[in-house]
């Protein structure tokens, strides 16, 4: 299994430009235990690993009745002899959800989209994810998922070395569900659901898949890209940057795509996220302008696509992290 995972990740990286990582993600449910697939001693190039998950059963349903939800979560350092830095994002119905981390002793990590933890080996953090849902309506039942990002503080060195290598690999919990018995507070999120096109999958992607005898994965595996080749970066002028998002592969499904800069969602031409419907054996593509006027010179940009559908597909889907160079920023 370890060899299989390595080969699969290697192939994925050829398509997306990422590098393999020895991150291990684990729900706290025994049925999701992945310990047997990973060594306890860190390799020389290991960035870190963690075990994490919602503390309730896999079939748990959280009832929203108007008050903030409090969902128990646990994360544990899993790399012997090193400290793992890991960030935790939360998605409700495929939409990025800010939350507070509230500990039993009263300690509170203020509301943010990503909470970051530095974990020694076997160090465990138990807390409640506390939030008012940013989406949903009475009568609906929507999925909730936590996504981890490995070593989020890492930023590529610059234009001479823009690669992220092992850093920013993602893992995720299985979904639980929120049942809405009441409407959440008035929602202000804006969605772009027509600002995309459907085109053929690029020939170079098909050539790579054929070379690896993996063209069949186009039917089962989704891939998300910012349209940037490995060893490259996105250039901004100190005011704006043009970003292209490409999603292809897997069965037809609805996806919500959020663009993150420095681990915080950013607006896409005045909208909060892009909602698309994929087409089998085709590519969804969208181009947006983002505001970079408040950014420093070197920044990290990536996108995450989450489907709220209960289908057999890799979920979530993350692009490689890419260096965003805001050239005229001081």
Q: Are residues 313 and 256 in the same domain?
A: yes
Query: Are residues 247 and 195 part of one domain?
Result: yes
Q: Coil, strand, or helix at residue 207?
A: helix
Domain stops at, among 149, 180, 211: 180
Q: What is the DSSP letter of 57?
A: -
Q: Are strands 61-64 and 176-180 parallel, antiparallel or unpaired?
A: parallel
Residues 229 and 301 in one domain: yes
pLDDT of residue 44: 55
Question: In this predicted structure, what is the pLDDT of residue 46?
Answer: 76
**66 and 92: one domain?**
yes
Residues 197 and 173 in one domain: no
Classify residue 4 as left (phi > 0), alpha (psi -120 to 50) or beta.
Answer: alpha
Instruction: Please write the tens of the pLDDT for every residue from 43-86.
Output: 556 789 999 999 999 999 999 999 999 999 999 999 999 999 99
3-class DSSP string for 98-137: CEEEECCCCCEEEEECCEEEEECCCCEEEEEEEECCCCCC
Mean pLDDT for each consecutive 10-residue tract of the chain (330 residues)? 32 38 41 38 70 95 97 97 97 97 97 98 98 96 97 96 93 96 92 91 88 86 88 92 94 95 95 94 94 96 94 90 84
Predicted local confidence at residue 230, as pLDDT: 66
**Structural domain of residue 114, as residue ranges?**
2-180
Could you tell me the CATH number of the domain that includes residue 256? Answer: 2.60.40.2550
């Amino acid at each position: 299994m370890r060899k299989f995972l390595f080969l699969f990740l290697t192939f994925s990286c050829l398509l997306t430009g990422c590098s393999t990582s020895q991150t291990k993600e684990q729900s706290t449910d025994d049925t999701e235990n992945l310990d047997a697939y990973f060594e306890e001693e860190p390799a020389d190039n290991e960035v870190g690993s963690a075990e994490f998950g919602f503390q309730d059963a896999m079939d748990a349903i959280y009832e929203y009745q108007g008050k903030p939800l409090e969902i128990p979560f646990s994360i544990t350092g899993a790399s012997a002899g090193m400290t793992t830095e890991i960030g935790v994002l939360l998605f409700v119905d495929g939409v990025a959800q800010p939350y507070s981390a509230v500990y039993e002793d009263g300690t509170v990590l203020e509301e943010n989209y990503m909470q970051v933890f530095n974990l020694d080996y076997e160090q465990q953090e138990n807390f409640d994810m506390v939030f008012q849902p940013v989406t949903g309506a009475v009568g609906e039942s929507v999925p909730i998922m936590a996504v981890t990002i490995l070593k989020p503080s890492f930023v590529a060195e610059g234009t001479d070395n823009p690669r992220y290598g092992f850093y920013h690999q993602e893992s995720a919990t299985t979904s639980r569900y929120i049942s809405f018995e009441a409407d959440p507070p008035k929602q202000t999120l804006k969605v772009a659901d027509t600002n995309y096109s459907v085109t053929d999958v690029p020939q170079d992607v098909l050539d790579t898949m054929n070379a690896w005898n993996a063209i069949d994965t186009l039917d089962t595996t989704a891939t998300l890209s910012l349209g940037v080749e490995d060893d490259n970066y996105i250039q901004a002028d100190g005011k704006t940057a043009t970003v292209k998002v490409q999603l292809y592969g897997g069965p037809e499904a609805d996806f919500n795509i959020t663009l993150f800069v420095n681990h915080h969602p950013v607006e896409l031409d005045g909208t909060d996220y892009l909602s698309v419907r994929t087409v089998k054996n085709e590519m969804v593509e969208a181009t947006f302008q983002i505001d970079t006027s408040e950014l420093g010179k070197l920044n990290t940009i990536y996108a995450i696509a989450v489907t709220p559908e209960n289908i057999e597909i890799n979920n979530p889907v993350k692009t490689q992290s890419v260096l965003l160079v805001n050239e005229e920023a001081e």
